[in-house]
A and B are shown apart, each in its own frame.
Chain A
């Protein structure tokens, strides 16, 4: 019984809740039981929030009984450790924020709370969302629920693993270069990054402010869509949030792909290092989409080869600026008894930041430093313009772009930790979407070597409904479902 409840989608759970067959408290209890059984192996969560789940499940049950249940009433939610929740320890996966309890709740999380979601806990991630495997967490690595010796992807690896292992029905992540889509692919779940500006970043601990977006993980396209719609829309507390109505992401998303043109960028199709099994799964997906009436179009994104280089200037530059706030004065770790303020900064940041964060802060500081700004930062911003134009041109020839999400399936823990560039290449198919501000989704599209493969769909800016339409049509026609991994 309890395992059944942890494999439900929002639609099915909501029906059972409204019929009175189950209560929100039952749903929470089933998930807690499941977490107790599998999380010691998966290690998706950093910490749990029993005070919240009790209060929120009670309230959901009360509203359901009164007949005015909000759309996510009773739905178990996990939240990545970069999104502030009032009073709940939030650390961005870093030792430097150990013990930090935000005095406010971020907008995206707050809107899901208003919609009735029940928060189970805080999920693990790479420190400050920098990484593609969750091995850079300042606490411990998370394991892939399909193979515990492999990584779940990252940086939102805890959220992806929690949904894949039946430890949450939906989860929130953030995507700066692929940090929702890549772990979704590696864990065999649905993960969506919205258009830059669709979801408020208020209450998100910033990594790279011109690239960061908050988005959902779920086990169906429908669940991801409704979760995204409910947290989207203008927020006076984020000046870069759009005033487009959040619900527009659901428009016409059930029309199927007949007559649609789907572009396959040749630079993505034959990207260096793509595994044969991944390519075969994508070929099979393209066959299904064509069978459903889509026209598959050969397109080119000529500056693809420069995307990683541009990204690894822009993202570290922005991070070096954003992370300057961790000074040991207002919150977090502090060597406040150092002999002078400079030593206090040096020692606090030496102790608090892990290797990857230090690497990126130094890289960004270098790129912004006197004498190098034009050669690196300005140059990267100009190449960003060219990458954006590549996508603009592509969307004149097609309605959406399809490719693999990740060139590889989940890799063994430790396989890429010694060579940062090899880790960065995990995001080679996803980071273009961030540089161009596009919405993108990863949906399960079969397996290679027994491990999940993800199909990525990218749309033009504000084209979430197009992306969701393709993803939903593929999900329905392929009968590929995000399944719950047995784990033990």
Chain B
């Protein structure tokens, strides 16, 4: 199933990927080619076949919920592109009223 330029724009927005001029045609073309190959999955009869999300039978073991040392505020912020007063700084999310 070919992917239209509108669908590329929609998917890019869902994934918060900015597009540049020419990107829509480029990705519509390439993703359509890949999806054409992927469409062969529809030939497989999967009625009554359960999906596999975790391939190894390990019961996920959760560790005990006990306090343990973690990052200091300074360490947690050390890689932050911008911080202020011990917080991560981001552009305004709400407009001032």
Interface residues of A (CB under 8 A from B): 99-101, 103-104, 195-197, 210, 234, 236-237, 239-243, 303, 305-306, 308-310, 312-313, 320, 324, 327-334, 336-347, 349-351, 353, 358-359, 361-363, 365-366, 369, 375-376, 378-386, 388, 420-421, 424, 435-437, 461
Closest B residue by C-beta to A236: B63
> How distant is the Cα of A60 from the Cα of B83 in the complex, in angstroms?
40
Q: In the bound complex, do residue B15 and residue A332 qualify as a contact, i.e. CB atoms below 8 Å apart?
A: no
Quick one: which of A104, A237, A341, A349 contacts B18, CB cutoff 8 A? A349
Residues on A with beta carbons closer than 8 Å to the beta carbon of B27: 358-359, 362
Q: In the bound complex, do residue B31 and residue A386 qualify as a contact, i.e. CB atoms below 8 Å apart?
A: no
User: Given contacts A336-B91, A382-B49, is CB(A239)–CB(B17) below 8 Å?
Assistant: no
Q: In the bound complex, do residue B37 and residue A363 qualify as a contact, i.e. CB atoms below 8 Å apart?
A: no
Residues on A with beta carbons closer than 8 Å to the beta carbon of B43: 306
* Closest CB in chain A relative to B39 CB, distance in Å: 8
* Closest CB in chain A relative to B79 CB, distance in Å: 4
User: Given contacts A362-B27, A369-B11, A385-B50, is CB(A328)–CB(B81) below 8 Å?
Assistant: yes
The A-contacting residues of B in range 46-76, CB under 8 angstroms, are 46, 49-56, 58, 60-63, 71, 75-76
Q: In the bound complex, do residue B7 and residue A210 qualify as a contact, i.e. CB atoms below 8 Å apart?
A: no
Residues on B with beta carbons closer than 8 Å to the beta carbon of A234: 61
* Closest CB in chain B relative to A97 CB, distance in Å: 9
Q: In the bound complex, do residue A309 and residue B91 qualify as a contact, i.e. CB atoms below 8 Å apart?
A: no
Residues on B with beta carbons closer than 8 Å to the beta carbon of A99: 79
Residues on B with beta carbons closer than 8 Å to the beta carbon of A239: 60-63
29 of the cross-chain contacts (CB-CB < 8 Å) are A103-B76, A197-B58, A236-B63, A237-B63, A305-B40, A306-B44, A309-B40, A324-B16, A330-B80, A330-B88, A331-B80, A334-B81, A334-B82, A336-B91, A343-B91, A344-B91, A349-B15, A350-B19, A361-B15, A362-B17, A369-B10, A369-B14, A375-B42, A379-B42, A381-B53, A382-B46, A383-B44, A384-B55, A424-B34
Q: In the bound complex, do residue A362 and residue B15 qualify as a contact, i.e. CB atoms below 8 Å apart?
A: yes
Quick one: which of B7, B52, B58, B79 contacts A240, CB cutoff 8 A? B58
User: Given contacts A100-B79, A380-B41, is CB(A337)–CB(B71) below 8 Å?
Assistant: no
> How distant is the Cα of A329 from the Cα of B90 in the complex, in angstroms?
7
> How distant is the Cα of A351 from the Cα of B17 in the complex, in angstroms?
9
Residues on A with beta carbons closer than 8 Å to the beta carbon of B14: 365, 369
* Closest CB in chain A relative to B74 CB, distance in Å: 10
Q: In the bound complex, do residue B18 and residue A347 qualify as a contact, i.e. CB atoms below 8 Å apart?
A: yes
The A-contacting residues of B in range 1-47, CB under 8 angstroms, are 3, 7-8, 10-12, 14-20, 27, 30-31, 33-35, 37-44, 46
Closest A residue by C-beta to B80: A330
Closest B residue by C-beta to A198: B56
Q: In the bound complex, do residue A242 and residue B58 qualify as a contact, i.e. CB atoms below 8 Å apart?
A: yes
* Closest CB in chain B relative to A298 CB, distance in Å: 23
Q: In the bound complex, do residue B30 and residue A359 qualify as a contact, i.e. CB atoms below 8 Å apart?
A: yes
> How distant is the Cα of A236 from the Cα of B50 in the complex, in angstroms?
29
> How distant is the Cα of A388 from the Cα of B31 in the complex, in angstroms?
27
> How distant is the Cα of A196 from the Cα of B51 in the complex, in angstroms?
17
Interface residues of B (CB under 8 A from A): 3, 7-8, 10-12, 14-20, 27, 30-31, 33-35, 37-44, 46, 49-56, 58, 60-63, 71, 75-76, 78-82, 88-93
Nearest 7 interchain pairs by C-beta: A350-B18, A334-B81, A381-B51, A346-B18, A437-B55, A331-B79, A382-B46
> How distant is the Cα of A388 from the Cα of B56 in the complex, in angstroms?
10
> How distant is the Cα of A331 from the Cα of B50 in the complex, in angstroms?
39
Quick one: which of A237, A242, A382, A385 contacts B56, CB cutoff 8 A? A242
Q: In the bound complex, do residue B34 and residue A363 qualify as a contact, i.e. CB atoms below 8 Å apart?
A: yes
Closest B residue by C-beta to A196: B56
Quick one: which of B18, B41, B81 contacts A331, CB cutoff 8 A? B81
Quick one: which of A104, A237, A339, A420 contacts B30, CB cutoff 8 A? A420
Residues on A with beta carbons closer than 8 Å to the beta carbon of B58: 197, 240-242
* Closest CB in chain A relative to B72 CB, distance in Å: 9
Q: In the bound complex, do residue B60 and residue A240 qualify as a contact, i.e. CB atoms below 8 Å apart?
A: yes
Given A350-B18, A386-B49, 5 other A-B residues pairs in contact with their CB atoms under 8 A: A332-B79, A333-B81, A358-B17, A362-B8, A366-B11
Quick one: which of B52, B56, B60, B80 contacts A195, CB cutoff 8 A? B56
Residues on B with beta carbons closer than 8 Å to the beta carbon of A436: 55
> How distant is the Cα of A312 from the Cα of B39 in the complex, in angstroms?
11
Q: Which of A100, A324, A334, A424 has the most CB of B within 10 A?
A: A334
> How distant is the Cα of A388 from the Cα of B20 in the complex, in angstroms?
41
User: Given contacts A312-B34, A362-B11, A362-B31, is CB(A306)–CB(B41) below 8 Å?
Assistant: yes
* Closest CB in chain A relative to B33 CB, distance in Å: 6
Residues on A with beta carbons closer than 8 Å to the beta carbon of B16: 324, 327, 342, 345-346, 349
Closest B residue by C-beta to A462: B56
Residues on A with beta carbons closer than 8 Å to the beta carbon of B19: 350
Residues on B with beta carbons closer than 8 Å to the beta carbon of A336: 81-82, 89-91
Q: In the bound complex, do residue B30 and residue A384 qualify as a contact, i.e. CB atoms below 8 Å apart?
A: no
Closest B residue by C-beta to A351: B18
* Closest CB in chain B relative to A55 CB, distance in Å: 21
Q: In the bound complex, do residue B41 and residue A210 qualify as a contact, i.e. CB atoms below 8 Å apart?
A: no
Quick one: which of B8, B15, B40, B75 contacts A320, CB cutoff 8 A? B15
